[in-house]
């Protein structure tokens, strides 16, 4: 399956979204806005990734058991590729950057 995530930050609010594409062609998406304190853009991107992965994990099957993530935030890509983080998230592979 593929998980696409993105986020944005405004004044005291973040918007997060994800699109999940399963191997059988099914597509799921979600978005939400959250009023928060002092979040950075990176914090917002991390929240979007975690939300997308949570939903993706709920829909994993034996047929669709790996998760390819596509994100457009280079600092987040570096963070997720860090061995300390990547070993905590099994089955995750950064497919590409937008």
CATH number of 66's domain: 3.30.420.10
Q: What is the average per-residue pLDDT within 27-50?
A: 90
Question: How many structural domains is the chain composed of?
Answer: 1
76 close to 45: Cβ distance less than 8 angstroms:
yes
Q: What is the average per-residue pLDDT within 32-45?
A: 88
Q: What is the pLDDT of residue 91?
A: 55
The β-bridge partners of 70 are 4, 96
Domain extent, residue 62, equals 2-97
pTM value is: 0.81
Q: What is the pLDDT of residue 36?
A: 80
Distance between CA atoms of residues 49 and 6, nearest Å: 8
Kindly indicate the confidence band of residue 71, based on its pLDDT and cuts at 50, 70 and 90: confident
* Residue 78 CB partners (closer than 8 Å, separation 6+): none
Q: What is the pLDDT of residue 70?
A: 87
Q: What is the pLDDT of residue 32?
A: 92
């Amino acid at each position: 399956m593929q998980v696409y995530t993105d986020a944005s930050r405004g004044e005291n609010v973040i918007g997060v979204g994800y699109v999940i594409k399963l191997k059988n062609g099914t597509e799921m998406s979600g978005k939400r806005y959250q009023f928060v304190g002092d979040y950075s853009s990176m914090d917002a991107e991390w929240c979007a990734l975690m939300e997308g992965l949570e939903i993706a994990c709920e829909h994993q099957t034996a047929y669709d058991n790996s998760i390819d993530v596509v994100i457009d935030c280079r600092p987040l890509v570096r963070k997720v590729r860090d061995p300390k983080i990547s070993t905590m998230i099994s089955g995750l592979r950064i497919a590409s950057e937008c």
